[in-house]
């Protein structure tokens, strides 16, 4: 069950541009500070339910104010907060339907004129789905007509559907424009909506302001590694309710796009009653077919990571009988969700060879490849797997065509294979961080198609994808079971199954982003991607996005040149690069150059180490991290 190392976990709030969301660390050697503060367990009391009832989810008041993590008396915007059409609709989109679902229709109706409420369908909270949109332009306000009625036009990008289980599913609607009509309650007084779309709309910013991002975990196919699954929970939900919801979500299964790459709990698993707890001792009662000691131990590890900011003990009861007790903090220390490498180091390609980089006081490392093989390199991916180094090099051969050169072993790697074919172009490879040292494998893009490669033979085989356009980039997550890829200028994520070295890429899900003509992507955190593309004005930019596309924030704009490669480091190891560090290559041909953040600057020749005598005067390119 255990895997070496740990990793930054459970997305909390952070400021993008500095640090937008923080992540908790798995082991003591990882940073464990939350920028916005931790969610503190409240003193809880038992739910008082009979021994076996259907789980009930009680409302907890209005949505919390922005920045709150565990309940707040502050209320979201109300209809009386503005009597101007534009701000009125902004407030409606910001929070009317957001937060606790049991009160969604009540909050929405406050904004709607009585004569227009009849057509609003009432649904059970479990059936309520929110249409999440991103504003593309400022709201257009039509001045009042002779009857005092005004209109507000909202131009949007469809982001997704927020479901009751906290998942953000792909968009269902295709509308890019919505129109609201409003009237005055009295001349010169407040406003009410008389005509509105027939879906519950909410802005993407509401997911930041009124929800808490939570990561729950599912086992991979061989149940040796946990795979993250991002969810959203209203910020006002108290701790005991959060434990109940996490158990329900685990029993309900993973997000649709992730499901083919992970293992569900046994069919028929469901919670009995609400979770209870007091003084750091929690109790969860379940129905779970075939609940033997092994399955309960696996579930205990899932819960420890899915409740990663809670401490104390958790009792697992099956049909009211206590069967397994988990010390949450000890479980996380003993069983890392997935492995990570040692202290990271930066590298670049300089004059056709991989060279170390010296950035500030960060640690450096020698190139873990024999000099005889470190030639004619265009780009590279290096990864650590226990005592092994995995090396995938894109090298230039005859006629300028590219080949993939792959090797593995203790540093320095001395044995390489070049059994791949020759291609006009090959992107930067990515290693899937598999637990099976005997079957290292990875993915690479060549001539617009995705290939998997064998880490021992360099053999490449085509991966069929149901995506339009040429594939230009691919990147693997820390857990090795999720990838991000760029195809046809759009961003996708997909689940990956790795069984005995056999890689299966599942149906990709397209993400909504503010960028078009996307050219590069990498993982910058457990549930966050970094991507490069063009903004609405066609200027190149770098953004950060959640793995579901819900949140997207500009990190670097007006770059002046197209980004051709991105490499990120999720961060957390003390003494390494700062969390959310990244490097990129921009430009084309001989004008390519490498850059970094923290702070933003180009990577200079003087920062390249171990240059042999006679090295050409050129710019560093294709930067990457080894960890």
Q: List, for residues 211-259, the tens digit of each pLDDT value.
A: 999 999 999 988 999 999 999 999 989 988 999 999 999 999 999 999 9
Same domain, 204 and 227: no
CA angle 569/540/581 to nearest 5° reads 15
> Does one domain contain both 475 and 564?
yes
Q: Taking the chain, what is the end-to-end CA distance rounded to the nearest angstrom?
A: 22
Which residues, 6+ apart, have CB-to-CB distance to 114 below 8 Å? none
pLDDT of 17 over the 70 cut: no
Of 303, 334, 365, the last residue of a domain is 334
**Average of pLDDT values for 345-359?**
97
Q: Is residue 32 part of a domain?
A: no
Helices and strands: H and E segment counts in the chain: 6, 42
pLDDT one-digit tens code per residue, 563-584: 999 999 886 666 778 888 999 9
Shared-domain flag, residues 467 and 378: yes
Residue 435 pLDDT grade (very low, low, confident, very high; cuts 50, 70, 90): low
- The reply to whether 435 and 287 lie within a common domain is no
The owner of tokens 């770098």 is 542
In a domain, 347, yes or no: no
Residues 323 and 370 in one domain: no
Q: Burial of 273 by CB count in 10 Å (0-12 exposed, 13-18 middle, 19+ buried)?
A: buried
Residue 115: is its pLDDT beyond 70? Answer: yes
Q: What is the dihedral of CA 425, 427, 428, 433, to 10 degrees?
A: -120
Dist. CA 148–CA 193, nearest whole Å: 12
CATH number, domain of 561, equals 2.120.10.30
Domain around 406: 352-611+619-626
Mean pLDDT, residues 280-304: 96
Q: Could you tell me where the DSSP H helices lie in 511-551?
A: none
pLDDT of 65 higher than 60: no
Q: Give the pLDDT confidence score for residue 355 in this predicted structure.
A: 98
Instruction: Please indicate, yes or no, whether residues 514 and 365 belong to a single structural domain of this protein.
Output: yes
Are residue 179 and residue 247 in the same domain, yes or no? no
Give 593-598's long-range contacts (Cβ < 8 A, gap of 24+).
593/619, 593/620, 593/621, 594/348, 594/619, 594/620, 594/621, 594/622, 594/623, 596/346, 596/359, 596/623, 597/555, 597/556
Looking at the structure, tell me whether residues 172 and 46 fall in a common domain: no
Q: Of 209, 230, 256, which closes a domain?
A: 209
Written as one string, the DSSP assignment of 142-183 is EPP-TTS-EEEEEEEEEEEEE-TTS-EEPP----SEEEEEEE
Token representation of residue 106? 């009540």
Residue whose C-alpha is closest to residue 255's, from 235, 227, 275 = 227
Contact 71, 58 (CB under 8 A): no
Q: Considering the domain boundaries, does residue 516 fall inside one?
A: yes
Q: Is the pLDDT of residue 61 over 70?
A: no
Indicate whether 600 belongs to any domain: yes
Q: Single out the residue in 187, 209, 231 at which a domain terminates.
A: 209
Task: Answer yes or no: is 7 within a domain.
Answer: no
CA distance 337 to 53: 33
- Same domain flag for 230 and 85: no
Q: Are residues 372 and 475 both part of a single domain?
A: yes
Residue 299, beta-bridge partner list: none
Domain count, the chain: 3
CA distance 565 to 623: 8
Residue 28 has pLDDT above 60, yes or no: no
**Do the beta carbons of residue 541 and residue 559 sit within 8 Å?**
yes
484 and 551 assigned to the same domain: yes
For residue 34, being part of any structural domain is answered with: no
The predicted structure's pLDDT at residue 500: 65
Q: Residue 14: inside a domain, yes or no? A: no
Same-domain check for residues 84 and 203: yes
The confidence score (pLDDT) of residue 11 equals: 34
Residue 524 confidence (pLDDT) above 90: yes
| Omega prior to 412 cis, within 30 of 0 | yes
CATH number at residue 153: 3.10.450
Q: Is the residue at 69 inside a domain?
A: no
Q: Please state, in angstroms and as integers, the Cα–Cα distance from residue 319 to each residue in 48, 148, 263, following that order.
A: 17, 62, 23
Candidate ranges 15-24, 68-77, 344-353; pick with highest mean pLDDT: 344-353
Whether the predicted pLDDT of 42 surpasses 50: no
């Amino acid at each position: 069950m255990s895997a070496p190392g740990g990793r930054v976990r459970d997305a909390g709030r952070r400021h993008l541009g500095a640090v937008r969301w923080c992540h908790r660390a798995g082991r003591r050697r990882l940073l464990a500070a939350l920028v916005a503060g931790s969610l503190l367990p409240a003193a809880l009391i038992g739910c008082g339910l009979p021994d076996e009832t259907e789980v009930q989810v009680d409302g907890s008041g209005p949505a919390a104010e922005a920045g709150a993590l565990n309940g707040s008396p502050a209320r979201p915007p109300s209809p009386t907060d503005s009597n101007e059409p534009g701000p009125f609709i902004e407030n409606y989109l910001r929070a009317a339907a957001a937060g606790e679902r049991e009160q969604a229709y009540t909050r929405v109706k406050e904004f709607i004129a009585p004569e227009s409420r009849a057509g609003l369908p009432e649904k059970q909270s479990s059936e309520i789905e929110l249409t999440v949109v991103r504003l593309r332009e400022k709201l257009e306000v039509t001045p009042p007509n002779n009857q005092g009625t005004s209109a507000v036009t909202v131009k949007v990008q469809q982001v997704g559907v927020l479901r009751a289980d906290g998942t953000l599913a792909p968009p269902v609607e295709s509308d890019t424009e919505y129109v609201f009509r409003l009237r005055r309650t009295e001349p010169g007084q407040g406003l009410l909506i008389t005509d509105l779309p027939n879906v519950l709309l909410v802005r993407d910013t509401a997911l930041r302001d009124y929800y808490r991002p939570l990561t729950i975990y599912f086992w991979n196919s061989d149940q040796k590694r946990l795979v993250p699954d991002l969810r959203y929970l209203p910020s006002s939900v108290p701790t005991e309710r959060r434990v109940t919801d996490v158990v329900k979500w685990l029993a309900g299964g993973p997000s649709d796009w992730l499901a083919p790459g992970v293992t569900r709990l046994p069919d028929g698993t469901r919670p009995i009653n609400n979770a209870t707890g007091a003084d750091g001792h929690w109790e969860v009662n379940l129905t779970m077919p075939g609940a033997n000691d092994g399955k309960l131990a696996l579930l205990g590890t899932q819960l420890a990571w899915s409740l990663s900011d809670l401490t104390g003990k958790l009792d697992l009861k099956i049909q009211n009988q206590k069967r397994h007790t988990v010390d949450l903090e000890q479980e996380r220390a003993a069983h890392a969700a997935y492995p990570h490498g040692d202290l990271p180091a930066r590298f670049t390609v300089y004059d056709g060879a991989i060279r170390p980089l010296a950035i500030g006081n960060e640690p450096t490392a020698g190139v873990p490849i024999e000099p005889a093989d470190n030639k004619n390199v265009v780009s590279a991916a290096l990864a650590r797997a226990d005592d092994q180094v995995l090396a995938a090099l894109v090298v230039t051969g005859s006629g300028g065509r590219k080949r993939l050169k792959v090797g593995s072993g203790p540093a320095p790697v001395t044995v390489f294979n070049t059994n791949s074919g020759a291609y006009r172009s090959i992107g930067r490879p990515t290693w899937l961080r598999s637990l099976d040292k005997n079957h290292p494998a990875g993915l690479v893009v060549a001539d617009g198609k995705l290939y998997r490669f064998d880490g021992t033979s360099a053999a490449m085989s085509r991966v069929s994808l149901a995506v339009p356009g040429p594939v230009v980039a691919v990147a693997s997550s820390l857990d090795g079971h999720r990838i991000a890829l760029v195809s046809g200028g759009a961003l996708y994520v997909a689940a990956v199954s790795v069984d005995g070295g056999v890689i299966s890429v599942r149906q990709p899900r397209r993400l909504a982003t503010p960028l078009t003509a996307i050219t590069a992507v990498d993982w910058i955190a457990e549930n966050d991607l970094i991507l490069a593309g063009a903004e609405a004005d066609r200027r190149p930019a770098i953004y950060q996005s959640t793995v579901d596309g819900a949140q997207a924030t500009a990190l670097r704009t007006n770059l002046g040149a197209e980004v051709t490669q991105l490499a990120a480091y999720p961060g957390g190891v003390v003494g390494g690069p700062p969390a959310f560090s990244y490097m990129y290559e921009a430009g084309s041909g001989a004008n390519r150059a490498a850059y970094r953040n923290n702070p933003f600057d180009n990577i200079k020749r003087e920062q390249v180490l171990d240059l042999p005598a006679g090295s050409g005067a050129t710019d560093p390119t294709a930067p990457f991290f080894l960890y």
